[in-house]
Amino acid sequence: MVKTKLIMVEGLPGSGKSTSAQLINDILKDNNINSKLYLEGNVDHPADYELASFFTKDEFTKLLRKHSRIQDQLLKHAEVLPEGYVLYRPTLTEEIGEAEMTESLQTKLWEHDIYELPLEINMHLITEKWKKFCKRVMPSDDTYIFESCFIQNPVTVGMIKYGASEELVLKYVERLAAAIKPLNPILVYVNQQDLSQSFKKAVKERPEEWSKGFMEYYNRQGYGKKQGAFGVEGTISVLKARQQLESNIYESLKISKFKLDNTEFNLALHKARLVEIFGF
């Protein structure tokens, strides 16, 4: 196997990213390689911020004053950065309970969610966390597997949320690539020939609240809003634009990379291709 400390799995919704990441994890473990898998949405992600809120020093001081009853807990669940504080909402909520998590506090924390912040601030905070992750894991013997956070997150917050230019989104991804270069990362991009079919398949298989939230996010802001996207077909049109952007990003990246066609959703064949990629 190519020596790497980080394998990143990317692709559009419904392409089979999660399955691919889990298969890679199984393949590595079957070959006695210590692996750590982080799927999309993992709140303990070592290089991303999931359900985390950022406050400048002044903003955090005001938050402590306003919520003085839980000041100790707010401090306990906050990570100190040179720029301010990151507050981890899941652990905070678990400790203080729903009663203390008032509507005003929830609103304030959501407004300061790292993926709700202005793009330049988001880019800076995320890139710095990737740098810290790289430095921390360099001495370890573990191989990390990340699903969706290398390309998908920059594209989602950049293009989908803010309608940012291709150049800026590419710059974002390139910053992350530079941050993890010492890990000799490998990118596995899972592709589908029929985007419309794979997305509609995902809509059928997942909870209705997922598809409703997804389509609202894609159609009502940033790129989708500019294009007047509406409903399932509108979301698919935005996804096609995202697909083109991600293809351009993939081609521009100077890292080890592999593109896999998963149109058939043939699990055995897909696993065999992954085994071949990693040289087992």
pLDDT 10s digits, 140-161: 999 999 999 999 999 999 999 9
148: domain CATH number is 3.40.50.300
Q: Tell me the angle at which helices 231-252 and 195-205 cross, rounded to the nearest 10 degrees.
A: 120
Both 160 and 175 in a single domain? yes
Both 123 and 241 in a single domain? yes
Q: Mean pLDDT in the chain?
A: 96
Q: What is the pLDDT of residue 37?
A: 99
To which residue do tokens 């370890």 refer? Answer: 140
Kindly state whether residue 79 falls inside one of the protein's structural domains: yes
Average pLDDT over residues 160-185: 98
Q: Could you tell me if 25 and 157 are in contact, meaning their C-beta atoms sit under 8 angstroms apart?
A: no
State the number of CA atoms in the 13 A half-sphere of 186 facing the CB: 19
Both 63 and 42 in a single domain? no
Window from 80-89, 92-101, 248-257 with minimum mean pLDDT: 92-101
Chain mean position to CA 201: 22
Q: Count of domains in the chain?
A: 2
Both 39 and 153 in a single domain? yes
pLDDT 10s digits, 108-145: 999 999 999 999 999 999 999 999 999 999 999 999 99
111 CB burial (10 A radius; 0-12, 13-18, 19+): exposed
Both tokens assigned to 215: 């389509």
Confidence of residue 201 (pLDDT cuts 50, 70, 90): confident
Q: Could you tell me if 184 and 7 are in contact, meaning their C-beta atoms sit under 8 angstroms apart?
A: no
Asked if pLDDT for residue 2 goes beyond 80, the answer is: no
SS3 266: coil
Both 254 and 207 in a single domain? yes
